[in-house]
Amino acid sequence: MAQVKKEKPAGKNWLWVLPLVFLLIFGSSALMRLFSPATIDTSEGLALLRGDTVQRVVVNEGTQQVNLNLEKSYTSPARIEGEKATERGKNVSFTYTRAQAEGIINLINAKTPKGGYDSIYPTPTLLGSILNAVLPVIILVGGFYFLYSFLLKKSGGIGGLGGFAKSKAKEFNLENPSVTFADVAGEDEAIEELEEIRDFLTNPTKYTELGARIPRGVLLYGPPGTGKTLLARAVAGEARVPFFSISGSEFVEMYAGVGASRVRDLFVRAKAAEPAIIFVDEIDAVGGSRGYAVGGGGEEREQTLNQMLVEMDGFDERTSVIVIAATNRPDILDPALLRPGRFDRQVAVEAPDLKGREAILKVHARGKPMLPEVDLYAIAKRTPGFTGADLANVLNEAALLTAREDADVIDIRAIDEAIDRVIAGPQKRTRVMNDHDKLVTAYHEGGHALCAAALNYTDPVTKVTILPRGRALGYTMVMPTEDRYSKTRNQILDNLVYAMGGRVAEELIFRDPSTGASNDIQNATAEARKMVTDYGFSDKVGNVKLGGGQSDGLTGMRHGQQEAPMSGQTAGTVDEEVRKLLDNATREAWEILSRNREVLDRLALRLLEKETLLEEELAEIFHNVTKQPERPVWNYLAEAAVADARFGDPIVGQEEPPNQQVEQDVH
């Protein structure tokens, strides 16, 4: 294993001396006041000199002060009525003016104290004069210096005047690593790519002897919660090298030049501790494309990025420092950051597949008592698209729900509720709907479920409920039986029909639809627009890419793929095609629900009775559903263009019962 060089200790900070100096000065002053003679009025001092209790007198002509040593303790008399006398002790002092000096000396000579008296006149030395003149200035300047450094430290520096510009990276020296590749599941391809990095850090000569150059940087990109930070820490844990972790936003401050200085300091620290790993989380905060800066803040970010580019490009060929960065937005990163020689390797960390989800569940199930009938494979099948963080949250929520009920073992019921919480939010138990709203929600969700059951390319319906969760009054859950990485045109068209099923059911039954379908319409419109502008599923528009990349909310500029120019005529055609797709989906939903009206009524009644229906009960209700015929493979959109825009009665001769009769039958 490679030897880990210890980081050189930083220079000693001498600012701690200033508080000590202040403490000594004020402490000595307090001690001098504690042991010095008590001060009395001049009249009291003259009265004591005229009495017989004075043993010794010391006259300081420089400070015009007389110190008296008494035979017994002296008590100052009360000055005003009601005031208590003050105990002064055996050593007291008083001051006098120059006009009183001769009279005081004559009084002392006349009384001749038993111990005699001394008259002193201290002559200031050159050193004393210099200290008296310079020391206050030194103390004042030092106080301001200490205060300034303290404020810089509180603002983000590490200490001292230059600490503000130092890197805020946290260093983890993993002699006993807490995270290894054994703790990472569901990302086998990413682990395989990072194994090479770990091998280089532990055995660099294996590669240098072959003339190979290890990647300078590794970019981990993927959706949030997929384990990018965990993978970076696992590499450091496996290699057992110093691990410097920092967020991209910690480089940039309001002061110009601080970000670039922190980048330099971070790389200096890492090179001093090599072999080492620098991990920059959310690098898009500082590594976004240059040229979109607005104001000084954006310019400071670009300076920070430029310094990072220089540092990564300036690595020695044999330097064992590797930069690992993570981002959710690789499309907005500057191209110079992604070129070979900087982030040579880009590793996708995607949401896990079925096998990966089961492995992740096994990792997070450690230490959690579960009933034997809890099948992690079945849970993995029910959670397609979940990331590692989502799966960890599911099991954690299940444990919390079990503890809330004072149970000792996690059962499948707690896990089911946890999955629903992650998908749709907690159940609104306090939200009470009236009978009409319940009826509308039952038919709305029944319309979704019935359309999904009657179509040929939708996923199976696994759950329907009218219990409010999050912002929804109810929801229908469809789950794919296998992982999918692309969609066909028929699958997307079926999804549009499924989305419009709730709105059509409300209009078919009540003739007065509600606003509950607003989210369905929004999602369906977005999907239909993608079909026209991104997927090439429109005969009129053709196979032309018209959709753009994600836009920067600050400048309005689009990063990544540029927005294709679109004329006004083309935009009108796009809107027309989107409208046509949604109209066709609505027409198909109307046909399905009209043809299977009895099934819809039965499903709504069962929902009102039980509130939640699972897959087995739904299969029983849908066993005699009339399936929608297959769409023709020829020019479907052109054929649909001639369809009736207003739906009418798709099935001739079928008559819907009046709305009042439906509600009466249901109640």
Pick from 460, 455, 454: which is nearest to 476 by CA? 460
Q: What is the pLDDT of residue 446?
A: 92
With pLDDT > 70 as the criterion, what percentage of the chain qualifies?
74
Any residues with CB less than 8 A from the CB of 660 and at least 6 apart, and which?
none
Q: What is the pLDDT of residue 339?
A: 84
* pLDDT at residue 456 greater than cutoff 80: yes
| Strand ordering across the sheet containing 170-173 | 170-173, 242-247, 276-281, 321-327, 217-221, 345-348
Q: What is the pLDDT of residue 30?
A: 64
Which one of 445, 506, 588, 591 is the catalytic residue? 445
Q: What is the pLDDT of residue 506?
A: 92
Pairing of strands 612-614, 65-76: unpaired
Task: Report which DSSP code applies to 374.
Answer: -
Burial readout 279-301 (b: 16 or more C-beta within 10 A, e: otherwise): bbbbbbbbbbbbebbeeeebebb
Q: What is the pLDDT of residue 169?
A: 54
> What gap in Å lies between CA 78 and CA 62, rounded to an integer?
31
What is the DSSP track for 92-103? Answer: EEEE--HHHHHH
Any residues with CB less than 8 A from the CB of 134 and at least 6 apart, and which?
none
Q: Three-state SS for 476?
A: strand
pTM exceeds 0.85, yes or no: no
What is the set of domains in the chain, with CATH numbers? 36-78+85-123 (3.30.720.210), 167-348 (3.40.50.300), 354-424 (1.10.8.60), 436-545+581-666 (1.20.58.760)
Instruction: List Cα–Cα distances, 389 to 183, 325, 393, in angstroms.
Output: 13, 19, 6
Mean pLDDT for all residues in the chain = 77
Task: Report which DSSP code applies to 184.
Answer: -
Q: Assess whether 445 carries a catalytic annotation.
A: yes
Q: What is the pLDDT of residue 482?
A: 76
Instruction: Centre a 10 Å sphere on the Cβ of residue 510 and count the other Cβ atoms it contains.
Output: 17
Q: pLDDT tens digits, residue range 517-550?
A: 888 999 999 999 999 998 888 888 888 888 665 4
Q: Terminus-to-terminus CA distance in the chain, angstroms?
A: 76
Instruction: Centre a 10 Å sphere on the Cβ of residue 606 and count the other Cβ atoms it contains.
Output: 18
Instruction: Centre a 10 Å sphere on the Cβ of residue 470 and count the other Cβ atoms it contains.
Output: 14
* Region class of 23: left (phi > 0), else alpha (psi between -120 and 50), else beta: alpha
CB distance 645 to 583 below 8 Å: yes
Instruction: Centre a 10 Å sphere on the Cβ of residue 431 and count the other Cβ atoms it contains.
Output: 10
Any residues with CB less than 8 A from the CB of 357 and at least 6 apart, and which?
186, 380, 383, 386, 391
